[in-house]
Chain A
Amino acid sequence: MFHTQENRNTSLIGPRPCDKPGAWLGYGYYFWEDVKDAHKWGVDYKNATGSYQIYKADITSENILDTVFNENHYKFWLEAIEMVASDFERKRGVKPSIKDINEYFKRQSTWGDIDGILFQDLPKSPSNTPVRDLFYRKRIQFVAYKIKIAGNFALNFESER
């Protein structure tokens, strides 16, 4: 998996956590499944220094919630999201955001069993598809909540300034 960062003239020895409020699945170490997405993220969002870096890591854990390829995990996740969302809306009268829901998940003690979550979205950008008006390509990300599951972390690419 691939981890994109700004190039600050140094090589990281491990992934940097993302704690931005906009991060869907909360505080964690975010990776791209496809290097294409890692490059796009670098060009669009990690280019403030004029260059970005992509690091590669092997993710090893049996405790990953795989909402992309594992049918049971996907159905569980869907049910959990809908359960929390409808409860929040019923009690508060306002729909929660996906981040609110995930923060709520993480607050549960049982949720500590999860080392990371594989998830996806379908970006509706013409540059993301060779087919007109068909946005079929999954953009797959992984968030690791425990740094130890990201092994063999090493610099894989550095863009030119």
Chain B
Amino acid sequence: MLNLKKLKDGLIIALKQETKESLDRFIESLREREALHELKSLIIKSLNWGGLTTEHIEASKPVHGIENIDRIKNFDQNTTIATKAILEQYSLPEKLPERINLDFLDKKKALINCEPFFCNIAL
């Protein structure tokens, strides 16, 4: 059985401790998480456009023989477009694109080999 009083009391105590700044930080972290999720979706779409299927990604199955450089270029272009769209949509702080790009570039090699990189994106 849920203890509603305990839940309510916990909430009251938490809210008393919140300041404008702490709530701003909380909302900002939510928006960053949403943006990363959006990026993940768009990367998956990019991969689909690049010729890989969602099943490949979700099952994290190694896909060999992806030697068609056009696919990789296509992937890069689409990801750049996707990243820009997200940044505009969410008016993200500058630190975020750096983090995404770094994370993304670090993992890019693994991605080309279709390793389960999506699990590694911090969501």
Q: A19-B123, A83-B12, A110-B10 are in contact. Are A92 and B27 (CB under 8 A)?
A: yes
Tell me whether B1 is interfacial, beta carbon within 8 Å.
yes
Tell me whether A88 is interfacial, beta carbon within 8 Å.
yes
Q: A87-B15, A91-B18, A96-B27 are in contact. Are A79 and B37 (CB under 8 A)?
A: no
Tell me whether A105 is interfacial, beta carbon within 8 Å.
yes
Contacts of B19 in A (CB 8 A): 91
Asked whether B30 lies within 8 Å of A84 as measured between CB atoms, the reply is no
Tell me whether A133 is interfacial, beta carbon within 8 Å.
no
Contacts of A73 in B (CB 8 A): 2, 4
Q: A19-B37, A21-B37 are in contact. Are A80 and B18 (CB under 8 A)?
A: no
Q: With the chains together, A72 CA to B8 CA distance in Å?
A: 13
Closest to B10 in A: A110
Tell me whether B14 is interfacial, beta carbon within 8 Å.
yes
Closest to A16 in B: B58
Tell me whether A114 is interfacial, beta carbon within 8 Å.
yes
Closest to A88 in B: B23
Tell me whether A127 is interfacial, beta carbon within 8 Å.
no
Asked whether B34 lies within 8 Å of A21 as measured between CB atoms, the reply is yes
